[in-house]
Amino acid sequence: MILIKTAADLSSLLASQRASGARIGFVPTMGALHPGHLKLVGHSKKNSDATVVSIFVNPTQFNDPNDYTRYPITLEKDIYLLEQAGCDILFLPAIEEIYPEGTSLEEPYALGYLENLLEGKYRPGHFQGVCQVVHRLLELVQPSLLFMGQKDYQQCMVVQQLIRLKQLPVALRIIPTLRETSGLALSSRNLRLSGKDKEAATAIYRSLQMIRNELRPGNLEPLITRAVAEIRAAGFEQIDYVSIASAQDLSEVAEWDGHSPLVALVAAFISGVRLIDNLPLTETGSPVG
């Protein structure tokens, strides 16, 4: 694995790879890697000639400065895991390499309604920061394929919108969420949970499954109420949302017609750690790729 720290070195290495016809796969991360990230690397390896992984904890996407300063960093282990997984190039930039002109955004990305609901509502500015960094990384790496995890369902939709807006020549591949056997979705933030918290946090997946199992056409409010109660009873101190939404545009669905594709999404805090998860409720319920 080649470790690269500057944008200039990355661009020249990848230019020579592209010139020899290599199809580049890209997995952007913020580090603190877990098997979910490595699954993305595995998909990239299968479908590309060279796999690039970036590790960069992007300050512009953290609406809560404490969340930024407490974001787990496990660099040595990450490098080891990526080498084992067969990553070809690790891009490990300093902030000046990503934002040579500073972090302020000249013109906001036109994300429309996606910015005002669910994650966008509870984390103002978050998706602008995600677009800022992903746009910069895509310009540097110029991959054919971009691999992202379905756990960040709305982020996948936002990145798809970024690709459309900027007409970037890359295809987004969305990879299903990897879970512990308990059902807890793998997340870098799980590193900040105690064993007891992790056990309690399985209530999120249980409540998502309950929604999927109990889903019937008609009023969906009682399912939301039950899920909220189950998550609260497990010890979550704050629930930002439990939503049953259109799998295509994330608009809230209060009455289900029995046909339209749905996804259930949750964001909640346990011991100060914010967890998100989602579960497609119907066959076609995954973010449009």
User: Binding marks (x or -) toward ligand PAF, 152..181, rule CB under 6 A?
Assistant: x--x--------------------------
Q: Say how many residues touch ligand PAF, by CB under 6 A.
A: 10
Please state the closest distance from residue 54 (CB atom) to ligand PAF, in A: 7
User: Binding marks (x or -) toward ligand PAF, 43..62, rule CB under 6 A?
Assistant: ---------------x--x-
Among 81, 111, 133, 262, the residue binding ligand PAF under the rule CB under 6 A is 133
Q: Please indicate whether residue 37 is annotated as part of the active site.
A: yes
Active-site pick, 34, 37, 43, 126? 37
Please state the closest distance from residue 116 (CB atom) to ligand PAF, in A: 19
Q: How far is CA 103 from CA 2, 97, 133, 154, in A?
A: 27, 11, 10, 23
> Which of the stretches 24-32, 160-168, 216-224, 274-282 binds ligand PAF when contact is defined by CB under 6 A?
24-32
Please state the closest distance from residue 15 (CB atom) to ligand PAF, in A: 23
Question: Cβ-count burial of 211 within 10 angstroms (0-12 exposed, 13-18 middle, 19+ buried)?
Answer: buried
Q: Which is nearer to ligand PAF, 57 or 203 (CB)?
A: 57
> Which of the stretches 6-14, 128-136, 165-173, 236-244 binds ligand PAF when contact is defined by CB under 6 A?
128-136
> Which of the stretches 130-138, 225-233, 238-246, 275-283 binds ligand PAF when contact is defined by CB under 6 A?
130-138
Among 4, 30, 52, 279, the residue binding ligand PAF under the rule CB under 6 A is 30
Please state the closest distance from residue 29 (CB atom) to ligand PAF, in A: 5
245 binds ligand PAF (CB under 6 A): no
Q: Which residues bind ligand PAF (CB under 6 A)?
A: 28-30, 58, 61, 130, 133-134, 152, 155
Catalytic residues: 37
